[in-house]
Structure 1
Amino acid sequence: MILLQLFWSFLQIGAFSFGGGYAAVPLIQSQIVDQHAWLAMSEFTDLITISQMTPGPIAINAATFVGIKIAGIPGALAATFGCILPSCIIVTLIARLYLKYRSLDLLQGVLASLRPAVVAMIAAAGISILISAFWGSGAVIRLASTNWVLVVIFGISVFLLQKGKMNAIAVMVLAGVLKLAAALAGF
């Protein structure tokens, strides 16, 4: 029964996560944290971090991780297959339709109208993770309970990515080193 639940949950994530990995984050959170409680919010934040450090899409990495945690290798296979099945079907159908109707203004209008919704989904996921990182999962947002070390590391990371055009992997390594240095210094 758990294999079916994993398959069904990640089938829904795979079917409705338009816009790529970041757009899938709120759907993944809804299924694995809120609905089924397979992971706590702190574990979910760790999952997103690990998914960014490993090759492959966030949703597939999440499916594999959650599947293994809940039901071992069969769970990982069920969740991962559920996650990729909709994409395989949808991309095949859309590719055929797009090649046939790509010059239609109506199609271009529909694609343009999806962009703001995708941006909103990405922003919602980012805000949720940001709150969890700075104040802890389930914590009330208060200035006194802010993890200022993480805020500073976040600010440095954003600056290096946006203004310094630094490689994302190098920024992640640097952020880890900064956090380790802060922990060793007693912060």
Structure 2
Amino acid sequence: MILLKLFWSFFQIGMFSIGGGMAAMPLIQNQVVDLNHWLTLTEFTDLITIAEMTPGPIAINSASFVGSRIAGLPGAIIATIGCVFPSCVIVSFLAWVYYKYKGLTVVQGVLSGLRPAVVALIASAGVSIFILAIWGENGFSINPESIDYISLLLFGTAVFILRRWKPNPIFVMLGSGVIGGAIYLIK
């Protein structure tokens, strides 16, 4: 029964995640944290970190991780298939439609209409992670004592470095992880 539930949850994620892996994060959070309670919000944030650092699409990495955590290797395989299957069918169909009707203004209008929705999904995932990193699991608070100033400083520094010098983001993540780990060990 759990394998069927894993398949169905990640099938829905694969079916409705338009715009790439980061746009799927709110859908994954809804299924994994809110509806099924397979992970806590903190574990979900760790999942995002691990899924981003490992090679491959973030949604598929997340499916494999959650499936493995819930039902071992069979769970990882079923969750990954559930996540990938709708995309394969939809992309194959859309490629056929696009090549057949790409000159129609309706098709271009639909694609233009999807762009703002994708940006909103990505922004939603980013805001959720930002709030968790700065204020913790209790969420946003105007109380200055609830702010994790180390996380806020690391975030600000990382954004500044990424915008100013545009280095490889992996090096910024590694540097932030090392510095944050050292600070929290000392603290």
TM-based fold match above 0.5 = yes
Q: Tell me whether 132-141 or 107-116 shows the greater mean CA deviation.
A: 132-141
Shift of 1:140: 4.8
Distance 2:140 2:31 in 1: 23
- Report 1:1-187 matches (<5 A): 1-141=1-141, 142-186=143-187
One-letter code aligned to 1:165? K
What CA deviation, in whole Å up to 9, does each residue of 1:47-75 have, x standing for no partner?
Answer: 00111100111111111001011000010
- Pick closer, same or farther for the CA change 1:54–1:152 going to 2, 3 Å: same
Distance 1:138 1:84 in 2: 33
Shift of 1:136: 1.0
Q: Is the 8 A contact 2:131 2:140 kept in 1?
A: no
Distance 2:16 2:30 in 1: 12
Distance 2:156 2:164 in 1: 11
Distance 1:63 1:20 in 2: 14
One-letter code aligned to 2:83? C
Where do 5+ consecutive residues of structure 1 fail to align? none
Structure 1 outlier segments of 4+, above 3 Å? none
Backbone CA RMSD of aligned residues: 1.0
Shift of 1:185: 3.7
One-letter code aligned to 2:80? T
What CA deviation, in whole Å up to 9, does each residue of 1:84-107 have, x standing for no partner?
Answer: 000100010011111111111111
Distance 1:160 1:57 in 2: 25
One-letter code aligned to 2:16? F
One-letter code aligned to 1:54? T
Shift of 1:152: 0.6
The alignment partner of 1:39 has SS state of coil
The alignment partner of 2:165 has SS state of coil
TM-score where L is the length of structure 1: 0.96
**Percentage of matched positions with identical amino acids:** 56
What CA deviation, in whole Å up to 9, does each residue of 1:14-71 have, x standing for no partner?
Answer: 0000010111000000000000000000000000011110011111111100101100
What CA deviation, in whole Å up to 9, does each residue of 1:113-140 have, x standing for no partner?
Answer: 1111111111111111111111111345
The alignment partner of 1:163 has SS state of helix
The alignment partner of 1:38 has SS state of coil
Distance 1:90 1:166 in 2: 35
